[in-house]
Amino acid sequence: MGIAVLIVEDESECLRRFVDVVLADPALTLVGAVSSGQAAITMADASPPDVVLVDLGLPDVDGIEVIRHVVRHHPQAEVLVVTMFGDDAHIVAAVEAGATGYLLKDAAPRQIVEAIHAIRAGDAPITPSIARRVLSRFRALHAPAPATAPTTAPTTAPTAEAVASPLTERETEILQLVGKGLSFADVAQLLEVSPHTVVTHVKRIYRKLAVHSRGEAVFEARSMGLL
Amino acid sequence: MRRGALAILALAVAAVAAPLLPAPAGAQDDGLPLQPAEALVLLSDAATPPPPDTPGHRLALPAVWSDDRPEARGATAWYRMQFRLDAAPPADAAWSVYLPYLYNGGRLFLNGQPVGQVVESTPALWVRLQGPQLLHLPGHRLRAGDNWLDLRLVPRGAALVPSVPRPQIGPWTLLEPAFQQRQFWTRTMPQISAVACGVAALLMLGLWWKRRDETLYGLFGIAAALWGLRTLTFVVEVLPQAQWFWWRTLYHAGTAGFIVAMVLFACAYADRLAARSTPRWRRHLAPLLGVYAAAGPLAMLTSGGAADLWLSRWWVAGLVPLTLVAPAVMLRAVLARPGASSMLLLAAVVVAVLAGVHDQLLATNSPLLRSLLPAWSERRLFLLHHAANALLLVMGGLLVERFLQALAQLQELRASLERRVAEREAEIERHFRRIGELDRQQARLEERQRLVQDMHDGLGSQLIASLLRLERGQLPQPALADVLRGCIADMRMTLDAAAPDDHDLRSLVGNFRFRWDAQMQGSDVALDWRLDLGAERVQARPGAALQLLRIAQEAITNAVRHAGAQRVSVRFMRDGDALRLSVQDDGQGIPGWPQPRAGHGLRNMQARARRLGAELEVATGDSGTCIAVTVAGVLEPAAG
């Protein structure tokens, strides 16, 4: 039994391509290929996947919802968000929902397979601009509310960052270095750790962002009387 | 507030003055104090009272100054006054004789024994005492029945015979209050006035010195100074005879000068009130007054003091009609523009003029005053001192009021100025905001135009060219896939460059590298990156970063696709505000360079480089190609 893969994609050409790639790799098992969010949720519950490839622009349910459902009910599953252009806003939203990686729709078959294997092995791709967005998301989430403490200005100092956000100093450092355009290899060399360690950190960062943004959402919803 | 202060002042004045007004004579049931109604005048130069049989003449008391009195012949005169006591007071009783005035000093004897001496005029010493005298009468010298007082007066240098008051005799405690009152008004008050006038004059003249066009301050300063000097001649009562002449001259000059300054002040104030320049008829007033005022002191100087008597009587009297100009002018001003301040000044001027007339009548022993107000004139109280003080107070008060008004106006002006400045500032800020908004709109517009232009020139033309080739059957499927991949890569770059919240060139180039790394992963081409962009955030001119990345994209694509390179070195190097890009490969070089076949995108790269104001450097050969471009003045510190 290989890696169980669930594909959620409403564009048939894309879906077909992903299905072909998954079927072509003996190490991967296709547990489902669906084109709607509702079907994806049903499918995931029926046969829990190891990896979910999910497009954000689904016709019925928002892809983000699908990601949330999968992460909540099947925490062992890794979610790869499928995007058209790899634009930051979508990816960060997906990461906040619980995704740990992303795939470009035009990726070569080899790249798709590699990405699925890599994410199972603990990989977590991050571009400089995504790193920056993640950093600023943490700042926004953990900066004190302006109304209660108007004098506390947001700060970029790593030590202050560590106090204000749940990121460790090392994680913040990695995000800042990646945000400046350094590759994982560069970062690893600079921090004198292995590239693998850097990736592990990034993955942990993604998890934290997901947890915190969700916690934040629940808290906000509660305070607004929605829950 | 001010009214309250005025009321308190008036009350204080009334409290001090009140005991002066009721005549103390005969106020006591027991007949005290005793007030001899007449004196027997004996002429004798002896140092002790002349014997009772010395011939003399009777004189009713008080006796006013008169030329035709027998003693007006330069002889020493003894004024013998009798009074009767029913019983002798105890030997240690403190009795006294109160003399409301004793201008030239003198000596007092009780029942033939000396009991007191007041400094008196001598040929060397000139004495003019303003205050009252309270002389002690030893109780053991008083006896039941008739007593007699001898007042010995020596004549002053000139043939002036002094006025003789009616003495009051009684216990010390009974007479002292009246003495203290009169002492205050005739001695203490002039001292206060002289000092106050001096201070006020210094202040106002200092002010006027700085503000010459403020005539009122100058006139007030002169009036106060002259009045202070005149008052000083009353404060200093004992002088060497030689100085007396100058003293009198100063007195006359002070009196006349004060009147002139006061009249001119009233005129100037009235003009200021009516906001008009000096009327023509009054242009000659100042010289006229000046000439008349100067005439008195000049006459004193030229006559060597001989004219003093005449001046005191006639020249001073002549000042009165001139003085009347002040109330007349003020009255007109008040009628034209009634106001509390001007009415107050008018009242003060009128009072001062009346007081002046009164004093002149009193000084010249006018029968008119004596018949109109016999009891009052007997007390010989000169009023101009106080009326002039009051007038000066009013004048000073008006000036202070004017000053405060000007200050208030200034404050109001400043407040309104500040308000207007604030309004202008707000307006300017609105303008700036508007300009900023327009700038932003302009920037957005330009950005949009650049994007449109960019898509038109880049993606659009590439897609159309490819479509046309495809329709002609000239575009095989792998080439079509390449074209589409190129288009997608270009769109990614465009999206990255257009990200609204990320202007750091380092992160933009980092994204570019990240995508290439991902694409080349697992291939046999090694990409070697070197990004020397410095430690701080830096951004490229709008649009420039995208053009540079496209050149890099094209160069790397060429190296990988067409040159068969194994290794590609990509360098982004910052040098100040210049940015240099170089792409070096180890491929087969560009065939036919410098006239390469179409399709290598070299022309594209050249066009982009030119659009950036730079020249594409191409070095190619068998061992590889190097494409580089240096764009100057393209970098600036990134915001945010």
Chain A residues with CB under 8 Å of B533 CB are 181
Please, what is the end-to-end C-alpha distance for chain A in angstroms? 41
Average pLDDT rounded to a whole number, residues B357-364: 86
Confidence band, pLDDT 50/70/90 cuts, at residue B23 = very low
Residue B174 lies in a domain: yes
B15 contacts chain A (CB < 8 A):
no
The domain boundary, picked from B357, B384, B414, lies at B414
Tell me if B11 is assigned to some domain. Answer: no
User: Two tokens at B617?
Assistant: 């450097």
Mean pLDDT of B95-106: 90
Q: What is the CATH number of the domain that holds B207?
A: 1.20.1070
> A128-223 in CATH: which number?
1.10.10
The least confident of A60-69, B333-342, B488-497 is: B488-497
pLDDT at B121: 81
Q: Are residues B98 and B221 in the same domain?
A: no
Q: Using alpha carbons, select from B36, B35, B33 the residue that is nearest to residue B173.
A: B33
The answer on pLDDT for B30 being more than 90 is: no
Can you give the pLDDT at residue B11?
Answer: 61
pLDDT of A157 higher than 50? no
Is residue B296 located within the same domain as residue B374? yes
CB spacing of A132 vs B504 below 8 angstroms: yes
Q: What are φ and ψ of residue B590, in 5° steps?
A: -90, 120
Percent of chain B with pLDDT over 90: 34
Domain boundary (B166, B182, B198) is at B182
Instruction: Supply the pLDDT for residue A152.
Output: 43
DSSP secondary structure letters along B417-435: HHHHHHHHHHHHHHHHHHH
Q: Which of B483, B493, B511, B571 should we substitute to test contact with A (largest number of A Cβ atoms within 10 Å)?
A: B511
Cβ contact B507–A125 (<8 Å): no
Domain boundary among B182, B205, B225: B182
What does the pLDDT read at residue B4?
57
- CB atoms A180 and B507 under 8 Å: yes
Q: Cα–Cα distance between B501 and B372 in angstroms, integer?
A: 105
Is B9 among the domain residues?
A: no
Q: Which residues of B touch A114 (CB under 8 A)?
A: 521-522
Residue type, B402: R
pLDDT in tens, B459-497: 887 888 888 888 888 888 888 888 888 888 888 888 777
Which pLDDT score, from 0 to 100, does residue A153 have? 45
Tell which B residues from 491 to 550 touch A, by Cβ distance under 8 Å.
491-492, 495-496, 499, 501-502, 504, 506-511, 513-515, 517-519, 521-522, 529, 531, 533
For residues B350-378, give the mean pLDDT: 86
Could you tell me if B161 and B212 lie in one domain?
no
CB–CB of A179 and B511 under 8 A? Answer: no
In this structure, the answer to whether residues B284 and B380 fall within a common structural domain is: yes
B147 and B248 both lie in a single domain: no
B522: pLDDT strictly greater than 80: no
Question: By the CB < 8 Å criterion, does B403 face chain A?
Answer: no
| CA–CA gap between residue B616 and residue B630 (Å, rounded) | 8
- Which DSSP category does B63 fall into? B
* pLDDT band at residue B422 using 50, 70 and 90 as cut-offs: very high
Beta-bridge mates of residue B635: B540
pLDDT at B347 over 90: yes
**The pLDDT of residue A67:** 92
As a whole number, mean pLDDT of residues B80-91 equals 88
Instruction: Tell if the CB–CB gap between A111 and B513 is shorter than 8 Å.
Output: no
Regarding whether B288 and B229 lie in a shared domain, the answer is yes
Judge whether residue B233 has pLDDT over 50.
yes
If asked whether residues B610 and B620 sit together in one domain, one would say yes
Cα pseudo-dihedral B417, B422, B423, B425, rounded to 10: 120
Query: Domain check: are B170 and B265 in the same one?
Result: no
Pair (B44, B164) in one structural domain: yes
Q: Treating both helix axes as pointing N-terminal to C-terminal, what angle do B477-498 and B461-471 enclose, rounded to 10 degrees?
A: 170
pLDDT confidence bin for B273, thresholds 50/70/90: confident
- Whether residue B624 is contained in a domain is answered as yes
Does the pLDDT of residue B498 top 80, yes or no? no
**Quick check: B561 pLDDT over 70?**
yes
Give mean pLDDT, residues B546-568: 89
Q: Tell me whether residue B384 is in a domain.
A: yes
Contact of B86 with B97, CB cutoff 8 Å: no
B405 domain residue, yes or no: yes
Under the banding of pLDDT at 50, 70 and 90, the label for residue A223 is low
CATH, domain A3-120, list 3.30.750.210, 3.40.1280.10, 3.40.50.2300, 3.30.70.20: 3.40.50.2300
pLDDT tens figures, B31-77: 788 999 889 888 888 888 988 888 888 888 888 766 666 665 667 88
The yes-or-no verdict on residue B556 having pLDDT over 60 is: yes
Residue in B156, B165, B197, B153 with CA at minimum distance from that of residue B308: B156
Largest CA distance in chain B: 171
Q: Does B367 lie in the same domain as B294?
A: yes
* pLDDT at residue B472, as a whole number: 87
Alpha-carbon span B628 to B285, nearest angstrom: 99
Number of H helices, E strands in chain B: 18, 18
Q: What CATH code is carried by the domain that includes residue B74?
A: 2.60.120.260
Q: How many helices (H) and strands (E) in chain A?
A: 10, 5
In single-letter form, the type of residue at position B42 comes to L
The burial of B438, by beta-carbon neighbours within 10 Å (0-12 exposed, 13-18 middle, 19 or more buried), is given as exposed
Most confidently modeled of A201-205, B141-145, B195-199, B365-369? B195-199
Please list, in sequence order, all residues whose beta carbon lies within 8 angstroms of the beta carbon of residue B212, skipping any fewer than 6 positions away.
Answer: B218
Residue A13, pLDDT above cutoff 70: yes
What is the C-alpha to C-alpha distance for residues B565 and B541, in angstroms, rounded to an integer?
A: 32
Q: Give the Cα separation of B254 and B193 in Å (integer).
A: 14
B91 with B234, same domain?
A: no
Check whether B636 has a pLDDT greater than 70: yes
- For chain B, give the number of residues: 640
- Can you tell me the mean pLDDT for B7-15? 61
Asked if B490 reaches chain A (Cβ–Cβ under 8 Å), the answer is no
3-class DSSP string for A113-152: HHHHHHHHCCCCCCCHHHHHHHHHHHHHHHCCCCCCCCCC
Let me know if residue B487 belongs to a domain: no
- Domain positions in chain A are 3-120, 128-223
Domain range for residue B510?
A: 502-637
Confidence of residue A165 (pLDDT cuts 50, 70, 90): low
Determine the 3-state secondary structure of B619 from DSSP: strand
pLDDT band at B221 (very low <50, low <70, confident <90, very high): very high
Residue with tokens 């993955």: A203
The pLDDT assigned to B51 comes to: 86
Read off the pLDDT band of B256 (50, 70, 90). Answer: very high
B118 and B213 inside one domain = no
- State in Å, rounded, how far the first CA of chain B is from the last one: 61
What is the rounded CA–CA span in Å between residue B161 and residue B154? 9
Please tell me which residue of chain A has the smallest CA distance to B572: A181
